[in-house]
Amino acid sequence: MQTNAANTPAVADGTLLDGLIVERSRGHYRVETSAGLLICTIRGRLRKELTYAESTQARRNVRGVKVNERDPVAVGDSVRVAALGAGTGVIEAIVARAGAAFTRADPETGQRTFTTIAGLDQMILVFAAREPAPHLRLLDRFLVTAEAQNVEAVICLNKADQGVEPWLDARLAVYRALGYPVIKTSAATGAGVAELRARLVGRTSALLGPSGVGKSSLLNALEPGLGLRVSAVSEATSKGRHTTTGARLVPLAEGGYLADTAGIRALGLGEFGTASGSGAGKGASRVRLDRLFREFRPYLGACRYGNCRHLNEQGCAVLAALAAGSLDAERYDSYRRLTQGDE
Ligand code: GDP
Ligand code: ZN
What number does the ligand 1 atom closest to the CA of 213 have? 3
Question: What is the pLDDT averaged over residues 113-133?
Answer: 82
Element (DSSP H or E) covering residue 18 = strand 16-25
| Position 282 pLDDT exceeds 60 | no
Element (DSSP H or E) covering residue 116 = strand 113-120
Instruction: Check if CATH label 2.30.40.10 holds for domain 5-95.
Output: no
| Position 194 pLDDT exceeds 60 | yes
* Interval between CA 35 and ligand 1 midpoint (Å): 37
For position 34, what pLDDT does the model report?
86
Task: List pLDDT tens digits, range 138-148.
Answer: 899 889 888 88
* Interval between CA 316 and ligand 2 midpoint (Å): 4
Domains 5-95 and 289-340 equal at CATH topology level = no
Closest CA to ligand 1's atom 12: 214
Task: List pLDDT tens digits, range 7-62.
Answer: 444 455 567 889 998 887 777 889 999 888 999 988 776 665 554 334 333 333 32
> Best mutation site among 161, 217, 228 for ligand 1, i.e. most ligand atoms within 8 A of its Cβ?
217
For position 44, what pLDDT does the model report?
73
| Position 234 pLDDT exceeds 60 | no
Question: What is the pLDDT averaged over residues 116-133?
Answer: 88
If we measure between CA atoms, which residue out of 278, 293, 282, 275 comes closest to residue 334? 293
How do the domains of the chain map onto residue ranges? 5-95, 100-260, 289-340
* Interval between CA 302 and ligand 2 midpoint (Å): 8
* Interval between CA 216 and ligand 1 midpoint (Å): 7
> What fold characterizes domain 100-260?
Rossmann fold (3.40.50)
What number does the ligand 1 atom closest to the CA of 189 have? 23
For position 149, what pLDDT does the model report?
76
Residue 5, C-beta contacts closer than 8 angstroms, at least 6 positions apart: none
Q: Which of 115-129, 173-187, 229-243 has the highest mean pLDDT?
A: 173-187
Instruction: Check if CATH label 1.10.40.50 holds for domain 289-340.
Output: yes
Q: How many other CB atoms are found less than 10 A from the CB of residue 325?
A: 8
Task: List pLDDT tens digits, range 235-275.
Answer: 444 444 444 445 678 889 999 998 877 666 655 555 443 33
For position 85, what pLDDT does the model report?
83
Q: Which residues line ligand 1 (CB under 6 A)?
A: 158-159, 161-162, 186-188, 209, 211-217
Q: Which ligand is nearest to the CA of 319?
A: 2
DSSP-assigned letters across all residues of 272-310: --STTTSSHHHHHTTS-HHHHSGGGGGGGGGSSSTT--S
For position 162, what pLDDT does the model report?
96
* Interval between CA 214 and ligand 1 midpoint (Å): 3
For the chain, the straight-line distance linking the first and the last C-alpha, in angstroms and rounded, comes to 42
Task: List pLDDT tens digits, range 47-102.
Answer: 655 543 343 333 333 222 233 444 567 788 888 899 888 889 998 887 766 555 55
